[in-house]
Structure 1
Amino acid sequence: MEVSERSGSSGSAVVHAPEFVGREREMAELARALAAPPTAVWIEGEAGIGKSRLLREYLAWTAGRADGAGRVLVARCPPLHHPQTLGPLVDALRQATETVAGLPLSPLAGALRPLFPEWGGDLPAAPGPAEDATAVRHRVFRALAELLARLDVAVLAVEDVHWADEATLEFLLFLAAGPQSIGLVVTCRPEDVVGGSLLRRLATRLAADSASAAGRLRLALGPLDVAATARLMSSMLAGEHVSDRFAGFVHQRTEGVPLAVEGAVRLMADRAHLSFGADGWGGCRPDEIGVPATVRDMVLERLGRLGPEGRAVLQAAAVLGRPADEATLRAVTGLAAGRAQAGLIEALGGALLDDDGWGQVAFRHVLARQAVYEATPASRRRTLHRRAGRTLEALTPPPVGELADHFRVAGEKSEWSRYAEWAADLALDSGDETTAGARLHDLVVNADLRPASILRLIRKFPFASFAGPARFRELVPPLRAALASGACTPGQEADIRAQLGNVLLFMGEDDAGRAELKRAIPHLGHDPAEAARAMMRLGWPRSSSWPVSSHLRWLERAAELEVPSMTAADRVGFAADQATARLMLGETDGWALVARIPDDADAPAEWQQITRANVNIGDMAMLWGRYAVAAQRLGTALVQADRRRYRRYESVAMVTRTHLDWLTGAWEGLAERAAALAESEDILPLARLELLFVVGQLHAVAGAYGPAAQQLRSVLDGEVGSGALADSMEPAAALARLALSAGRVEEALEITGEPADLIARKGTWVWASDLGPARVAALAAAGRLEEAARLTAAFARGLRGRDAPGPRAGLATCRAILAEARGEHASAAGLFARAAVAWQALPRPYEALLAQERQAGCQIAAGKRETGLSLLVEVRERLIALGALGDADRVVACLREHGVAAKRPQRGGRRAHGSRLSPRELEVTQLVATGRSNRQIADELFLSPKTVAQHLSSAMRKLGVSSRTALAVLATGAGTADAQFAQGDVPDRPSGGVTTKTR
């Protein structure tokens, strides 16, 4: 043990390692929470606040207990440039066991082979191919959970989770949500969580106060107070008293952050600025002592006091960024054995490095490591990274992710490329497309590769996992440079050009992208599958200004192309793409192609394509106004996606279903659901715009016209900017309607002008359900009736022979608006009545009510005052019931203008509180009473089990019960309908049966 030495009133001090002080309450709560796993503990706080120390003290306490509280496995997330897929967990498991031989593992454990190649002889055979990256990842997660259980791990602790790779975060979410019996502890610095990180979702799942959630504990560590600071300082000075004045001075300078307090004491001891007097330890002259305010400055001052060998060891440890033994550190420093050992002793004595007792040395805190790394000259860093790479190459298996990063900084392009591609391949094998994409993107953009290498890498790109136009934009220069190099064969040039075309299309630069695809296709004879895909993309009409005939020619060429290598799954996907493209073009034969897509399959890859087909067909059915078909297809897709964990398809289906709910008037709770979905990290940017469109429309119908216009303008700009021209029609129409209601006719004309011209040029009149009426109304308001008539006639010709109920309802509305503008009020009233019937048949009740409102106005203008006013009264009531309070206000104003007493609706709309259940909640509750499981209910109602669980949770909250059994008893006893009537509410539909979607 170190001894404090004092000589007289001033003397030198031997500084001890600090004791664990000021965290007694947190330690007790942590121990209590983990006494009976499974539980989840979230520990957060700023850098240096003591999160890792708290966890270490708990581990030391459990190690000394006699009752054997269960094994705790600690995984640490290093601050790597590109974290390795599941790297923290893999490293922790390797430390926990050298072999899995003898463990009773199921065949599922074969999915771990890419992560643990050294265990290949002991793991089961690799499982067969999975349907997509999500399924691969889920299989790996289940295998990891099984391995943790077989190793008797009771608690998994993950330190510095803010640096974890996405796959590790997803695994933690998997553990937190699943039935596993493993406790979970994570430490995190909230300020280092990047926007869009899955960690935010994990925080929501875990960071609940222990008082409000069983099995959940949130510990937010704050700074030490002055008294705790004094205790910490005293522990470092052999337990001797520290004067109040001195403790207050240090607390002020360090703000009570334990790491900074420790650094300040050590630095003052180094400077001989400590003295011992009658009041205990203090500063020689506290007011004149300058203690750096940041940990970085303290570390650098202490680094400067070391000799060259000590500094070399610290620099090597900083570059390695991982625990290392003496031999590894010596190899990276380049020092002789004796000098390296002396440097290590000096570095350990300076208390910046720590020995774990097993011969592994690492920085005691990441801030110290970062300060030393940043202070190391760049040329020296490159040398150290090169040595680190050469040294770590000898490990089995090699840490390919770290090797890629070391050689990248060292400027060793060949080794960087080899290990980065290897790391990307391992990530793809583990279902981690995000990490793989980052690695491949970095190589293609920054490694100055040959064309053949660029082509090989670009073919591996998981483009569906990319986000943001900037990342796509960065790929364009290296692809163009490869084409301009003159080093490509004609086949390679065509391959690269096809990939360039795809990238440009992803960016929304459609004309440029299509031009590249057209140039590539004649030279893709060596790869007919890629040629067919290129033709299909040229046939896709959503973001192109080409006419329908041009798209159809490419679709027909793709269909005629023989692709012998195409698998059964490829053929299903090809048929789905053909059907979707033709339906988007307004071609009725697309429905015949839909009928050829199978409902069932044997192979997982086929199931993936069938699920994707159902999502796309649901979207197209919505475009055509076949809402029953849309509901059935989307419901089927949600069930399929949930069963097979196709999370991407599930999220798209949920967004499209939310849009359908807006159209069909299922508005209760819709704004909250849409906003919550929009916050999800699973939602792609264009899908998020679709959700924000729904939110904007709900603002508009509630009468919040300013926020609605702002939201809809943002959506319209985003969709036009991304090239999603088909998707921009509805927001353009909605924005124009708001402008017209405010009397801004020119604005409405400007908004609808280009979209209407685009539809006319392309001939895609099935896109005009909303845009057509909005454009005709704007032209009519401007007195341009001949243009309005020509547009309406073209709309009618474009729908000839097409059974498209939605666009036909829009056409009926155009005809009514035109008649009203001509002053033909009696005729217009009849036409609006027909339009209302057409809208209601979809059903689209809001549009039907707006048509009836205009019908009533025309009746009044035609001299049928009583008939018109009576209809307006009915429209007002139904608008209020629907939740369109802003429109109801307008109708009330009209009624009052004609002398009819009418009340404005109470704000807040339809009540969604107390014991009143929504129709969907009522259906779900009644099915619970029959004994059905969530999955069975989901199958019957074409929902996902997750959505069923949300409805159940809401129903239980409203009815004041806390269990599924109590809910079932209430439903079969007093009855949910009675519970609703007790509140004086009238159900939206009869409560005696269950409504199912059309199959």
Structure 2
Amino acid sequence: MRPSRMVNRSDANSLPISTPHFVGRDRELNALRAAVSRRPAIVLVEGEAGIGKSRLLQEWIAGEQALTALVSVCPPLRESLTLGPIVDAFRGIDRLVAGLRLTDLAGALRPLFPEWSGDLPPALEPLEDAKAARHRLFRALDELLRALGVDVLVLEDAHWADEVTLEFLLFLTSRQRADGPSLVISYRPEEVDAGSLLLRLTSRLPVGVTGSRIALASVAPDDTASLVSSMLGGEPISHEFRSFLHERTGGIPLAIEESVRLMCDRADIVFRDGQWVRLALTELQVPPTVRDSTRERVDRLSPAAQQTLRAAAVLAEWSSEAAIAGTAGLTPEDARAGIAEAADARILSGDDRGRWRFRHVLVATAVYEAVARTDRALLHRRAGEALESVDPQPVARLAHHFREAGVTAPWARYAEQAAAQALASGDNTTAVVVLVDLLSETALPPADLARIARTTGLAALGRREPVDEVYHRVVRGLRAVLDGPGLSAREQAEIRNPLGRLLITGGEAAAARVELERAVTDLGHDPAEAAKAMTYLGWAYGSPWPASTHRRWLRRAADLAAGIESPAVRLNLTGNRAAAFLMLGDDEAWDVVAGLPFDGATAPERLDVARIHTNIGTGAVMWGRYADAERHLAVALRLADAEESSRLLFNVQLELANLDWFRGRWEGLAERSAALAEANADRPAIHLAGVRLIARLAAAAGRRREAEEQFRFVLDEATRLGAADDAMEPAAELARLWRADGDIPRALQITDAPLRTIRGKGIWLWATDVAPVRVEALLAAGEAEAARALTEEFARGLRGHTAPAPRAGLALCRAHVAAAGDDPARAASAYARAAQAWEALPRPYDALRAREGQAIALLAADRVAEGRQMLSVQYEELFRLGARGDADRVAQRLRDHGADVPRLWRGGRKGYGDRLSPRELEVVRLVVAGRTNRQISEILAKSPATVDQQLRSAMRKAEVTSRTALAVKVTEAGMLEDDDSGVTLS
């Protein structure tokens, strides 16, 4: 038996603590080797913090001496430098650039590598288009990779990568060839958003590219024992110690390692009876997190080492001894001694370039969070001052440090430089995030604030993300600058212009119109921007102006556009003008549309052409020109898909879904509508349109309560947002529901405001759905003269306009008026004409409902057999279409007239039915947790209206009328214990 060897605190340094062996990862290591051997390959290594991703890559690289690998790590900066990880990877190469065979394209690399300027080709001419500049830069980087003969590009901690870096990786993926580099990328899945570009790296692999995803899990209890044993001289550990340590650390290698080091520092372990055991297992507490263990370990170091670690934590990246010394406020000698002590304690690690950083990010975070906030500001200021001497200056890091230090002037200076670099690479989001916090800095001179606000607003317009928290921060920031003192009229206009266009993106039409109208008078110095603002003012929504005012703005924009040299700007203005004229119902729009291109020479041009054709398709749907709509939407779909613009694809998919509704292609439409509504919860216009589709289907299926709730939600939100055109259909459908209930006053009241809008603006294209139901309600109220007057007013409003859909609506109004007369035969003919008009579009659902009116008129004319026959046909066709509610109504009419009703097969109901959707489930969970609607809105990044709508939908499905009752019911149903969505609440 071996003697017992106690370790006390005074003798702690004598304990044989070693770097742990690489254990429990043989399968993953073999998988990584096998994947990379099949070049070209894309390998994603995923796992939570501390799980061992970096160690796996280190072991693999150490065993692959024949491979040329570039390795970089993404720093955890709040605003990452555009392409910073890629640039750092190249700066680590030993081979001289001067000897490489590079084409003139490599001149695009000069801004990224100013230290190589003597060895690179001459700088290229700047490109105005940010996306084109980014694509050229990507090609140059790819050329450099191949010239260097790089076999593998390794990127660690890609969850912190800037968007342009991820786009470059996707670019490499699309160009993978047998001689191209493989990609090995590590990241934390829990820190990657669902829509991140990172997750698309292996979703669409080119032919011949090997894709592999290696997920690291916690190590097993036996591997925990092996890892600890390797740190303690190879001696075994007790079963109790192993179980205790594995349970408390969750099998996370980093947590295991740090906990062991802490226990050794505290002399909490003893070697007894041939194995390591822990003293007082039930009494002494092992820190459950790396944070606790790290803080205690750091406290045992000398003051100089502790200050060095605080500086390294603030710097957050590989940093030189000089930078650490300057940040820590230490002499070079003291800093060097502190670094050496921290390195000996296995907290810092160095590279062959004399730089240092924390071995683990979690440890760095623990140290940083332990620094008092007042001390953090001082350390960040020192870090910024230390990094100012670096050449080239790391402007994103400098902006970050001076921001955290609260030193406004250098923060603003470096933030603008970092934003300019990001914009040059086409990374608008990074530029916006770097700048937006400056907008609330009243310490800046007004002229500086105005310049920064204008840059921020224009950069935000180029973002591809939907309406998110960044969008809201920009809007708040721009408004704050406008509310401040000292801005000239021109400066205000240059801020209001992008603000107005952003508000259009956010669905705030009325507010957008106010900003643009105030901006346009002071934009004379910039004809292109003035013309854009005028074109937006030409759109008919969001203002009480008559159509003539919108037309005047559009013609002013056209006059300005004629003198603009840029073909891209002229195309943008022409496309927007055509769509605006379509919304006004003006036939001249189609002459403009005929001259639009169907493709573009560059990616930005293709995206603009796709957006234009989406808008034309939307207008064509409103007109009832469905063949034209399908053609334009097909162009938009092709281009948006080719450019991988998910945001634009949602717009196109929504209009295609609308088109399918009108044309009677309802199969699978419920699922598509629900998916569109949920995927665009933070894009008001798209979300409301998706909900409107859901409501249409619910109304047709006879789910009256659901339809009413959804239409009410859409109407309220459209009214709040100032989207007058979007308020027409929900008001008409609510009136139809209430008229069917016999609530005529309510049906008339809900159509008052839409009709006032149509009359005030003179846009009778919008009356397609509202006018017929209003006429019906007036007739039911005994106001036949008012019904006839409205019908004639509708007819006058359509003179000179050829849109087929409103003309079919007019035919239906005339049929309703005829039905109220004394000649049922005349009414039957009028309904037949209305049905034919709908059929010509084709719009079968409306045609079937018009045929129902025709059949009723035939019955009233004593043409009973003919009327019953027609009703039988309508019953079967409505049923097969999916309009079960209408079919049931027709069936009852048949029974009332003594006819037999055939029994048709009824399939299952589409959509979620009485089950909660995934988005509703999110809201309900937070309700049960006691959150208010406002808190839920903030947590889920949804608008309060969306939360309210989803909560009301959940309450309807649960058949309860209060939040408390809902919480009780879902808890009793056991839903909160089930990860699956779609739990039935009955």
TM bucket normalised to smaller? 0.7 to 0.9
Query: 1:368 Cα shift?
Result: 0.8
After superposition, give the CA deviation of every residue in 1:954-975 in whole Å (9 maximum; x if it has no partner): xxxxxxxxxxxxxxxxxxxxxx
TM-score normalised by structure 2 residue count: 0.82
How far does the alpha carbon of each residue in 1:818-866 deviate from its partner, in whole angstroms, 9 at most, with x for none?
4445676433332222122111211222222232233223323432232
1:283 aligns with 2:296: no
Gap change, CA 1:269 and 1:421, over 3 Å in 2: same
Residue identity in the other structure for 2:84 = G
1:457-491 CA-partner distances (Å, limit 9, x unpaired):
33332233274386566556765665666634454
Q: Deviations over 1:133-188 (max 9, x none)?
A: 44444444444444434433344333222222222333344445555554333333
Shift of residue 58, structure 1, vs aligned partner: 2.1
Other-structure match for 1:944: none
Secondary structure in structure 2 of the residue aligned to 1:286: coil
Q: Quick check: 373-382 or 445-454, which moved more?
A: 445-454
- Give the corresponding residue for 1:76: 73
Distance 1:268 1:757, change over 3 A: same
2:750 & 2:202 partners in 1: Cα distance?
A: 42
Over the matched positions of the two proteins, sequence identity in percent amounts to 47
Distance 2:522 2:19 in 1: 70
**Paired position in structure 2 for 1:151:** 148
What's 1:816 paired with?
815
Structure 1 position 280, deviation (Å) = 0.7
Q: Counterpart in 2 of 1:970?
A: none
Distance 1:126 1:740 in 2: 71
Question: CA RMSD of the aligned region, Å?
Answer: 3.7
- Distance verdict in 2 for CA 1:60–1:722, change over 3 Å: farther
Q: Deviations over 1:43-89 (max 9, x none)?
A: 333322222222222222323xxxx3x43433322221112223222
- Residue 169 of structure 1 contacts residue 199 of structure 1 at CA under 8 Å; is this kept in 2? yes
Matching residue's letter, 1:94: R
Output the CA distance in 1 between the equivalents of 2:870 and 2:367.
79
Deviation at 1:344, TM superposition (A): 1.0
Using the TM superposition, give the Cα deviation of residue 408 of structure 1 relative to its aligned residue in structure 2, in angstroms. 0.9
Q: Name the count of aligned residue pairs.
A: 897
Change (3 A) 1:657 1:242: same
TM-score using structure 1 length: 0.81
- Correspondence list, 1:550-949, <5 A: 550-561=549-560, 564-597=563-596, 610-641=609-640, 652-673=651-672, 685-701=684-700, 708-737=707-736, 748-749=747-748, 751-780=750-779, 785-820=784-819, 825-896=824-895, 898-907=898-907
Post-superposition Cα deviations, 1:266-308, rounded to whole Å, max 9, x if no partner, equal 1111011111111510012222121111111111111111111
Secondary structure of 2:261's counterpart equals helix
Q: Residue in 2 aligned with 1:19? A: 21
State the shift of 1:320 in Å. Answer: 0.7
Alignment of 1:208-223 (within 5 A): 215-223=210-218
- For the residues of structure 2 that align with 1:446 and 1:205, how far apart are their CA atoms? 44
Moved more, 669-678 or 854-863: 669-678
Report how far residue 339 of structure 1 moved: 1.5
Alpha-carbon contact 2:81-2:162 (below 8 Å) kept? yes
Q: Which residue in 2 is equivalent to 1:993?
A: none
Aligned amino acid, residue 249 of structure 2: T
Aligned to 1:246: 241
Q: Which residue of 2 aligns with 1:62?
A: 64
Deviates more, 1:818-827 or 1:439-448: 818-827
In terms of mean alpha carbon deviation, does 635-644 or 398-407 score higher? Answer: 635-644
- The offset of 1:552, in angstroms, is 2.6
Q: Is 1:299 matched up with 2:294?
A: yes
**Equivalent pair of 2:237/2:277 in contact (CA under 8 Å):** yes
Aligned residue in 1 for 2:92: 95
- Offset from partner CA, 1:779-812 (integer Å, 9 cap, x none): 5556555554443332222111210101111222
Q: Secondary structure at the match of 1:41?
A: strand
Deviation, structure 1 residue 240: 0.3
The one-letter code sitting in structure 2 at the alignment partner of 1:80 is L
C-alpha change, 1:603 and 1:468, in structure 2 (3 Å) is closer
SS of equivalent to 1:75: strand
Are 1:324 and 2:295 matched, yes or no? no
Contact 2:695 2:708 in 1 (8 A): yes
The answer to whether residue 450 in structure 2 is matched with residue 455 in structure 1 is yes
Compared CA separation, residues 807 and 112, structure 1 to 2 (3 A): farther
- Between 611-620 and 833-842, report the one with greater CA deviation: 611-620
Please say which of residues 89-98 and 536-545 is displaced more in the overlay: 89-98
Structure 2 equivalent of residue 433 of structure 1: 428
Which structure 2 residue ranges, 5 or more long, are not aligned?
911-986
Distance 2:698 2:243 in 1: 54
SS across alignment from 2:37: coil
1:259 & 1:236 partners in 2: Cα distance?
13
- Using the TM superposition, give the Cα deviation of residue 238 of structure 1 relative to its aligned residue in structure 2, in angstroms: 0.9
Q: 1:551 deviation in Å?
A: 2.1
Q: Which residue of 2 aligns with 1:936?
A: none
User: Of the candidates 343, 349, 371, which is equivalent to residue 348 of structure 1?
Assistant: 343
Tell me: CA distance 1:31–1:114, structure 2 relative to 1, closer, same or farther (3 Å): same
Q: 1:617-653: per-residue Cα shift (whole Å, max 9, x none)? A: 2222222222222222233344455567777655544
**Cα displacement (A) at 1:660:** 2.2
1:907 CA displacement: 0.9
Q: Does the C-alpha gap of structure 1 residues 698 and 311 become closer, same or farther in structure 2, counting only changes over 3 Å? A: same
For structure 1, the residue ranges without an aligned partner over 5 or more in a row are 207-212, 911-999
The 5 A counterparts of 1:368-407 are 368-407=363-402
- Give secondary structure in 2 for the equivalent of 1:242: coil
1:447 to 1:729, Cα distance in 2 relative to 1, 3 A: same
CA offset at residue 522 of structure 1?
4.2
Asked if the contact 1:223/1:256 (under 8 Å) is kept, the reply is: yes
Relative to structure 1, is the Cα distance of residues 53 and 607 closer, same or farther in structure 2, using a 3 angstrom cutoff?
Answer: closer
CA distance in 2, matches of 1:49, 1:783: 76
Matched, 1:164 2:166: no
Report the Cα offset of residue 371 of structure 1. 0.9
Structure 1 Cα separation of the partners of residues 57 and 867 of structure 2 = 74
Counterpart in 2 of 1:42? 44
1:322-370 CA deviation, whole Å, 9 max, x = no partner? 0123233222222122211221121112222223455332111111111
Query: Which amino acid is 1:295 matched to?
Result: V
Distance between the aligned counterparts of 2:783 and 2:167, measured in 1?
Answer: 57
Match for 2:350: what amino acid? Answer: D
Secondary structure at the counterpart of residue 74 of structure 1? strand
Distance 1:200 1:848, change over 3 A: farther
Give the secondary structure class of the aligned counterpart of 2:282: helix
